[in-house]
Structure 1
Amino acid sequence: MKKNNISIVVFLFITFIMFMFIVYNTNFESKPVISGFEDKELIIKKPNSIIKYNSKDNDFMLDSDKTIYLSTDILSEDLGVKVHFDPRHNIAVITTLDRVIRFYGNTDKVKVNNKEADYIKSMIMNGEKPLIPINQIKEDLKIENKFFPETNTIVVKSLYDDEIIGKIDRDNVILKKDIKIWSKVIRGINKGEEVQIIGEADDWIKILTHDGKVGFVKKKLITNIEEIVGIKPEKNNPIWKPEKNKIILTWESVYSRNPDTSKIKDMDGLNVISPTWIHLIGADGKLNHNIGKDYINWAKKRGYKIWALFSNSFDPKLTDKFLNNSLARERVINDLLNLIKDNNLDGINIDFENVYLKNKELLVQFIREMTPVFHENNLVVSIDVTVIGGSDTWSRFLDRKALGEVVDYMAVMTYDEHWASSPVSGSVASIGWVEKSIERIIKEVPSEKLLLGVPLYTRIWTETPSRERANKMYVESRAVPMKNAMKILDKENIVKIWDEGAGQYYIAYIENNKLNKIWFENAESIKLKTDLVKKYNLAGVAAWRRGYETEEIWNIIDKNIN
């Protein structure tokens, strides 16, 4: 009897093993058990993976109208949406190349490009988390979303992402939770159903079904595998270019009043002028300007485009407070737009200098908020940047790559190689330094957006021996216009030497018992610099500043680049 019992146990065990082997490797004709959901689930589809959230995460919501709300973290980190949240004012701002969508917390107000948009639902604050309704703006955000009520599952993906899809090749294929033998059966999948492949494990493939179910099926049961390439990111091409020639821009330095235009001589080839008219003077976005009507009329008669320069007054504390205030940024954009339109100008030239490194992303955000609004009004947006390298507040605060993706043009200030307080004497813009600077920035910004900055000035360096330290010279400098510096060559006993490395003439002379040095900007040096415009296919030239030049310079620039 005991022996019979052992035989029965062995038989039952072998039968059970065989049964499980069949379960593991065979497709059932019967309907599988379907797992249920107690809470809603959000699935973010990625090219080779998924990201799951449940209702307890407080990162998404679904209202009674089936509108999907996603947190700003999910939008930015998982879906690549450019979104900024200002917790001080409870304002969320989404930017694309042609849209600025503003959500004002605790209100029903939503704006698109500064116009109220009542067709978009308002933002919801879930505790401290802002949740953005995506149904009405998904085309702007380039995302796709679906809700499956039978499983309480929301599936969202970025249209920029690639995906690998395949089809089930027979009916009643088992979708398992994982590849273990005891794994839970999620549901059956029928022949021809399209699935997204999100991973592999041995001879199993991890898939995402059309209704948001995630699980494993045998690799041999999927056919017609192909890669679907996502859409390509849009590029922001300049909204204006000269009809034939390159851009030749010069800045007009305006202080207390505008210049007497009757005294301004012809400037061959010039097609853009940028007067330093508008300045930020308040952290709340207050502006000061000295726009001149007579100057505008003069420029228009000559066919010049006018890009009014807007500066941050080179005040880092003021700039920090301003950039951190979303309401102030919005105010400035509106006020600038009104100034530009009311005076029939053609664009803006942004000159923010002496900015804290911590404001790097906020400066990009400000430009992203401004550009779509200006482009909607057919206005050019340009920005001035220093060369790569140097201090935090002079250079490192500039995210040139991110800025270059947004603006129409970027003027590279390829001068002040040796700046006013430089401890050693040297050229303002030696040709080798200028070319290396352009080569570096081209790696981050398209060449067709870059304007080569050229100085129409030089520096007179004065060196005095130290009476306290051996082999030490005290160095001072003063900037002088190109036309004034050239007069020094007329003095007696002045011998100019061509400095091959600098691409400039150099002189040294004694005056008042002090050694003076000058590296000249003149026709030869400007020609060498502007040769780089064609060599690197740059958009043109930006010269600082009008009134410093010698008469022949504009003709030389025009003939050299056009």
Structure 2
Amino acid sequence: MRKSKIFILIVLSILIILGVVFIINSINDNEIIQQANLYIENGIYNYDDLLLSDDKMYISMDCIKANDLLDLHWDKDYNKLSIFKNYNNITISYNNDNATYIDCLYLTEDVLKVFNDTLYLNATFLKNNLINSMFVDNNSKNIIISNIEKQYRAKIKTSLKFWTSSDNSEEYTIKRNDIFYIYDKQISNMLLCRNTNGNIGYVLKKNIVPYITIEETTYTKPHRKESITMSWDLVNKKISNFVEFDIPQVIDVLAPTWYELVDNEDYFLDYSNVEYTSYVQSTGKKLWATFNNNFDKELTSKLLNNAYKRSKIVDKVIQITKEKGYNGINIDFENVYLKDKDVYSAFIKELYCKCLTEKITLSVDVAVLSSSETWSMFLDRKAIGEYSDYVVLMAYDQNVSGVSGSVGSIPWIEYGVENLLESVNDGKVILAVPFYTRLWEESMEDDALVVKSTSLKISTAEKLLDELGIELSYDVTTGQNYGEKMIDGVRCRVWNEDETSLSNRMEIVKKYNLVGKGVWAFNFGTEEMWQSLE
């Protein structure tokens, strides 16, 4: 019996201890605001987007981004927050005690807080430094973010209540004819408002009358870039003996593929040639150096997810461009993990901010939207469109292997353009066309269809079609000349890239008022194709 009592006492003691621990943890974790309001004009926000800690209010980064209030990127593992504002890259570095913002030292709690693996920004800090249309009342625990407000005056002496949910709510006094500002939020018969002293609360609708409506217009028409024709020049080794070459009159910009991403202190393999640069620029053409990621998704992920290395890569690109005297930069990162979409966007944003400072043109290559995560879906086309001078749509490689088809049918290209224009202004879009085609060979092996694909330059394709005796006719479906022939049991098929398909592509440029056209690649073309491009 004695043992049973002892056992019961032990169990009760354990339960009491666990209960106390639970209560303490609940108190520590219960930082979500219980009596506060956040109002964002036409906004999207949830209860847990607000946080109250030590009487300070915070708004989640997710909420800020979802409502396009600020363009942010958080490198959580490096205690670094990047803010892209007015095409400047502003960083906040922090530890448990202090945070640095524009060379000023703050207490970390006065800038941000990390809670439940979510980043929150101090509301007062946001109001004072980053969001002009934000109003914060730390007494009533109310926050307003809006560019639209209606000016009212009080008909009689009334009160501005902190909250609408309690009859015992604290309040501010409003005198007759006092001016204040009303927002588009009504609860029962009370309206959200702010007085001229910055106090925020709710006022009875019957006690006020309209005065003036104020609406701030923030939209500005994007500036249209200079119309251009550019061509990549495929270079994947050092030029030992430079020889001058003819550059078609239609070309404004050459973009040699000189730089490949590597994991060392130089960050890029360099195939550049000083004589090449000097010669191109002496002809009146511009040179954009192309920087690619070697199409290596593992390497790209490793480097871009390291906040410090990502910034160093940006600095390296700028350094190379300035030292070599290039007119611009072309970024061609492909085969990137979908999970790295945000860090790739942060890389482009940081690079463009520095390009603007250095007056360097930035172009970024994008693929036609598809279901491929690593070749298409990783691209945030809206962010790239905002943080670049030109967006080059690589409108080719619709079919690469496995299934015979066009390199880029006209309907598919038009779909790609229309989709891109949903995110990017037409004054930035360059339509890049292929100066190559593919020979498809279909055969049966062990009762299975085997498809082989061979890429051909325009000139090579012309010769091969003659040799094989393949006759072409216009295919309305693809907007191209098509031909096929059975040779020794193999079905040879070609959707040809020639003046006909090029002319149809140029009609798309005109139809959608695109700013320019591009070519892959310079040494793939023929004189007739270059003339057609004009």
Q: For residue 313 of structure 1, what is the amino acid of its counterpart?
A: N
Structure 2 stretches lacking a partner, 5+ long: 1-32
Q: 1:134 to 1:94 in 2, by over 3 A?
A: farther
- Number of the residue aligned with 1:46: 40
Is the Cα–Cα contact under 8 Å of residues 79 and 94 in structure 2 kept in the other structure?
Answer: yes
Q: Does 1:193 align with 2:172?
A: no
- Number of the residue aligned with 2:158: 173
SS of the equivalent of 2:505 reads helix
Shift of 1:376: 1.2
Q: 1-side partners of 2:385 and 2:54: how far apart?
A: 32
- Number of the residue aligned with 2:254: 273
Shift of 1:180: 8.1
Q: 1-side partners of 2:250 and 2:381: how far apart?
A: 28
- Number of the residue aligned with 2:103: 118
Q: 2-side partners of 1:53 and 1:485: how far apart?
A: 61
In the alignment, which of 444, 447, 457 is matched to residue 481 of structure 1? 457
Q: 1-side partners of 2:49 and 2:436: how far apart?
A: 63
Q: Does 1:427 align with 2:427?
A: no
Q: 1:513 to 1:110 in 2, by over 3 A?
A: same
Q: For residue 58 of structure 1, what is the amino acid of its counterpart?
A: S
In the alignment, which of 206, 227, 252 is matched to residue 220 of structure 1? 206
Q: 1-side partners of 2:293 and 2:418: how far apart?
A: 28
- Number of the residue aligned with 2:496: 520
Q: For residue 493 of structure 2, what is the amino acid of its counterpart?
A: K
Q: 1:153 to 1:334 in 2, by over 3 A?
A: farther
Q: 2-side partners of 1:42 and 1:200: how far apart?
A: 15
- Number of the residue aligned with 1:374: 355
| Percent pairwise identity | 28
Q: 1:341 to 1:543 in 2, by over 3 A?
A: same
Q: 1:284 to 1:393 in 2, by over 3 A?
A: farther
In the alignment, which of 68, 89, 93 is matched to residue 82 of structure 2? 93
- Number of the residue aligned with 1:26: none
- Number of the residue aligned with 1:404: 385
Q: For residue 273 of structure 2, what is the amino acid of its counterpart?
A: G
Q: 2-side partners of 1:346 and 1:139: how far apart?
A: 39
Q: 2-side partners of 1:91 and 1:279: how far apart?
A: 27
SS of the equivalent of 1:418 reads coil
Q: 1:444 to 1:285 in 2, by over 3 A?
A: farther
Give the alignment's TM-score, normalised by structure 1.
Answer: 0.78
Once the two structures are superposed, what CA deviation does each residue of 1:377-413 show, in whole Å capped at 9, x if it has no partner? 1111111111111311121111212221221111111
Q: 1:502 to 1:202 in 2, by over 3 A?
A: closer
Shift of 1:284: 7.8
Is the Cα–Cα contact under 8 Å of residues 198 and 208 in structure 1 kept in the other structure?
Answer: no
Q: 1:289 to 1:237 in 2, by over 3 A?
A: farther
Q: 1-side partners of 2:59 and 2:357: how far apart?
A: 28
Q: 1:102 to 1:134 in 2, by over 3 A?
A: farther
Q: For residue 295 of structure 2, what is the amino acid of its counterpart?
A: F
Q: CA RMSD in A?
A: 3.6
Shift of 1:375: 1.0
- Number of the residue aligned with 1:249: 230
Is the Cα–Cα contact under 8 Å of residues 436 and 524 in structure 2 kept in the other structure?
Answer: yes
Q: For residue 40 of structure 2, what is the amino acid of its counterpart?
A: K
SS of the equivalent of 1:143 reads coil
Q: For residue 466 of structure 2, what is the amino acid of its counterpart?
A: D
Q: 2-side partners of 1:278 and 1:75: how far apart?
A: 36
Shift of 1:260: 6.2
Q: 1:140 to 1:233 in 2, by over 3 A?
A: farther
Is the Cα–Cα contact under 8 Å of residues 45 and 51 in structure 1 kept in the other structure?
Answer: no
Shift of 1:373: 0.9
Shift of 1:285: 7.9
In the alignment, which of 440, 453, 458 is matched to residue 419 of structure 2? 440
- Number of the residue aligned with 1:293: 274
In the alignment, which of 366, 371, 386 is matched to residue 390 of structure 1? 371
Shift of 1:343: 0.9
Is the Cα–Cα contact under 8 Å of residues 93 and 100 in structure 2 kept in the other structure?
Answer: yes
Q: 1:330 to 1:138 in 2, by over 3 A?
A: farther
Give 1:298-309 correspondences, 5 Å limit: 298-309=279-290
- Number of the residue aligned with 2:91: 102
Is the Cα–Cα contact under 8 Å of residues 431 and 528 in structure 1 kept in the other structure?
Answer: yes
Q: Which is further off, 102-111 or 332-341?
A: 102-111
Is the Cα–Cα contact under 8 Å of residues 357 and 392 in structure 1 kept in the other structure?
Answer: yes
Larger Rg: 1
Is the Cα–Cα contact under 8 Å of residues 253 and 276 in structure 1 kept in the other structure?
Answer: yes
Once the two structures are superposed, what CA deviation does each residue of 1:497-523 show, in whole Å capped at 9, x if it has no partner? 222322322232344553322222112
- Number of the residue aligned with 1:141: 130
Q: 2-side partners of 1:53 and 1:500: how far apart?
A: 55
Shift of 1:193: 2.6
Is the Cα–Cα contact under 8 Å of residues 305 and 346 in structure 1 kept in the other structure?
Answer: yes
Shift of 1:89: 1.4
Q: Which is further off, 200-209 or 317-326?
A: 200-209
Q: 1-side partners of 2:271 and 2:483: how far apart?
A: 40
Is the Cα–Cα contact under 8 Å of residues 232 and 255 in structure 2 kept in the other structure?
Answer: yes
Once the two structures are superposed, what CA deviation does each residue of 1:209-231 show, in whole Å capped at 9, x if it has no partner? 34454444332221125443234
Is the Cα–Cα contact under 8 Å of residues 389 and 395 in structure 1 kept in the other structure?
Answer: yes
Higher fraction of helix: 2
- Number of the residue aligned with 2:191: 205
Q: 1:492 to 1:216 in 2, by over 3 A?
A: closer
Q: 1:489 to 1:201 in 2, by over 3 A?
A: closer
In the alignment, which of 518, 521, 525 is matched to residue 542 of structure 1? 518
In the alignment, which of 141, 145, 150 is matched to residue 164 of structure 1? 150
Give the alignment's TM-score, normalised by structure 2.
Answer: 0.81
Q: Does 1:58 align with 2:39?
A: no
- Number of the residue aligned with 1:66: none
Q: 1:86 to 1:72 in 2, by over 3 A?
A: same
Is the Cα–Cα contact under 8 Å of residues 120 and 136 in structure 1 kept in the other structure?
Answer: no
SS of the equivalent of 1:491 reads helix
SS of the equivalent of 2:77 reads coil
Q: 2-side partners of 1:257 and 1:407: how far apart?
A: 29
Is the Cα–Cα contact under 8 Å of residues 505 and 519 in structure 1 kept in the other structure?
Answer: yes
Once the two structures are superposed, what CA deviation does each residue of 1:414-468 show, in whole Å capped at 9, x if it has no partner? 111111x2x22222122222222222222222222111111000111111123x2
- Number of the residue aligned with 1:457: 436
